[in-house]
Structure 1
């Protein structure tokens, strides 16, 4: 029993040492693209300027229309005044009715 386990351990150790030797001797070369580890490459200046311009244009559009066309948000109808509602509109029964 110990001999069979000992053989398995020797096989695992030999595989581990062979794989490590192969991995240490191989080098991966990449010449086609930039490479960075856990850090993105900095964007190009033109892309940053375009993004800033489009973001500014978007906020101008939103704030301009909030100021000049506020009715699109709150509605274009007059706001109801609750003091003008009748008891019938509110669903309140008349006072002289017996329960």
Structure 2
């Protein structure tokens, strides 16, 4: 659009102001409540599945008893080895 005679001003369609070297615009109440709801749903989902399907994290097989392991399995050399 012309400002003075033949001098034109550039039209910038950046979609709003920037936040370079300044504080960002504050979140709206809708965004804060929405983030809290989504975070609550995420933790509900995680804790629900940990409670109802613990084998997903712990594994399907029983943990072996380490007292039954031999020195050879643990990589410990025999007592008479130099």
TM-score by length of 1: 0.47
**Structure 1: stretches of 5+ with no match in the other structure:** 1-31, 94-99
Residue aligning to 2:34:
50
Relative to structure 1, is the Cα distance of residues 48 and 84 closer, same or farther in structure 2, using a 3 angstrom cutoff?
Answer: same
Query: Aligned-pair RMSD on alpha carbons?
Result: 3.6
Instruction: Give the distance between the partners of 1:82 and 1:35, measured in 2 at CA.
Output: 60
Structure richer in helix, relative to its length: 1
Quick check: 1:76 aligned with 2:53?
A: no
* Number of aligned residues: 66
**Structure 2: stretches of 5+ with no match in the other structure:** 1-14, 78-82
Structure richer in strand, relative to its length: 2
Q: Return structure 1 stretches of 4+ with deviation > 3 angstroms.
A: 32-37
